[in-house]
Amino acid sequence: MKTNLRQLTLVLVFTALSGCAGQHKYGDVSSEIHGISKQQGEMISKRDAVGIAGLYTSSAEIYPPNVDLVKGTQDIQRYWQSSFSDEPVTASVMSTEIESCGDMAWEVGNYKIAAVDGTTVDKGKYVTIWKFQDGKWKLHRDIFNSDLPATPK
């Protein structure tokens, strides 16, 4: 009986793990997400709120610091548009971890926003859940937080 239970457990574990092993259907997930994250940084630098919103699923949610939850691409576009400063900046996004299982992936990383003279305007970290939708990887849930101290109001 113990042997049968062990065999059944091994089969169940193998089956569960193998469900995440075959990623060929979704391409090279890590490279694709790295590329989209880099593109997002470039869009932030260009203040392209429409382009950024297009990177999200239609049911996406973002959890920015110090504001309410933002839902859906139209509100996400408005959020990004309102967050851009008048000063030109360069934004960079650096993934530190990307994992996936089926049509879902998750990414952990850091971001930095710098003024033209190189001065750091903001830097922080993020966690993003991605969803494969309409033949593309899209941001589905996105939370980011600054590493800089909060400025008094």
Q: What is the pLDDT of residues 42-76, one digit of tens each?
A: 999 999 999 999 999 999 999 999 899 999 999 99
Asked, for residue 139, whether it belongs to a domain, the answer is yes
Number of neighbouring beta carbons within 10 Å of residue 105: 22
Q: Which strands sit side by side in the sheet containing 136-146, from one edge to the other?
A: 70-71, 56-63, 136-146, 120-133, 104-115, 89-101
Asked, for residue 14, whether it belongs to a domain, the answer is no
Q: Provide the pLDDT for residue 15.
A: 41
Asked, for residue 4, whether it belongs to a domain, the answer is no
Asked, for residue 124, whether it belongs to a domain, the answer is yes
Beta strands in the chain (DSSP E): 56-63, 70-71, 89-101, 104-115, 120-133, 136-146
- Judged against a pLDDT cut of 60, whether residue 39 lies above it is answered with yes
Asked, for residue 98, whether it belongs to a domain, the answer is yes
Q: Is 34 helix (H, G, I), strand (E, B) or coil?
A: helix
Residues 6+ apart with CB under 8 A from 122: 111, 112, 113, 146, 148
Asked, for residue 85, whether it belongs to a domain, the answer is yes
Q: Provide the pLDDT for residue 8.
A: 45
56 burial level (CB within 10 Å; 0-12, 13-18, 19+): buried
Asked, for residue 123, whether it belongs to a domain, the answer is yes
CATH number at residue 118: 3.10.450.50
Q: Which of 134, 121, 91 is nearest to 109 (CA)?
A: 91
Rounded Cα gap, residues 44 and 88, in angstroms: 10
Q: What confidence tier does 151 reach under pLDDT thresholds 50, 70, 90? A: confident
Asked, for residue 10, whether it belongs to a domain, the answer is no
Rounded Cα gap, residues 37 and 139, in angstroms: 9
Which residues span the domain enclosing 131?
Answer: 24-146
Q: Provide the pLDDT for residue 112.
A: 96
Average pLDDT, the chain: 87
- Type of residue at 77: Q
Percentages (nearest 5) of helix, strand, coil residues in the chain: 40, 40, 25
The domain tally of the chain equals 1
